[in-house]
Amino acid sequence: MTHYWICLAIMAGSTYLLRAVPFSLVRRKIQSPFIRSFLHYIPYAVLTAMTVPAIFYAVDAPLAAAAGFITALVLALLGKGLTSVALAACGAVYVTSLILPFF
């Protein structure tokens, strides 16, 4: 449970600080496309770096976790919504966990 709160604090901090600090320190508009894209994508990169490893430690069967991850990745790349991606990934993990004992 402590791990959850630590992850939540890091995600909130990275999202807030990387967007609020440059806004409060720089009074003029940032012209550099590199810096603008860097500030835009860093929160997503941090969230991904923290979420992907957690996917594989969430269940006891790495194959079930991989099935859920691949399902979520494919549906996300197809442009499906967050709710449908999450539900399909959970379903894939559940079904794979039910099937694995038979192999």
Residue carrying structure tokens 């499906």: 80
Q: Nearest-CA neighbor of 85 among 68, 101, 72, 66?
A: 72
State pLDDT tens for residues 4-34. Answer: 899 889 988 888 887 777 777 777 887 889 9
What DSSP string runs through 16-47?
A: HHHHHHHHHH--SPP--HHHHHHHHHHHHHHH
User: Under a CB-based contact definition with an 8 Å cutoff, are residues 56 and 28 in contact?
Assistant: no
User: Under a CB-based contact definition with an 8 Å cutoff, are residues 72 and 85 in contact?
Assistant: yes
Q: Where are the domains of the chain?
A: 1-57, 60-103
Q: Show Cβ contacts of residue 22 under 8 Å, excluding neighbours closer than 6 positions.
A: 30, 39
pTM: 0.64
State pLDDT tens for residues 40-66. Answer: 888 888 888 988 999 999 888 999 999
Locate 54 and state its tokens.
């957690």
Give CA–CA dist 79/60, Å, rounded: 29
Give CA–CA dist 103/86, Å, rounded: 26
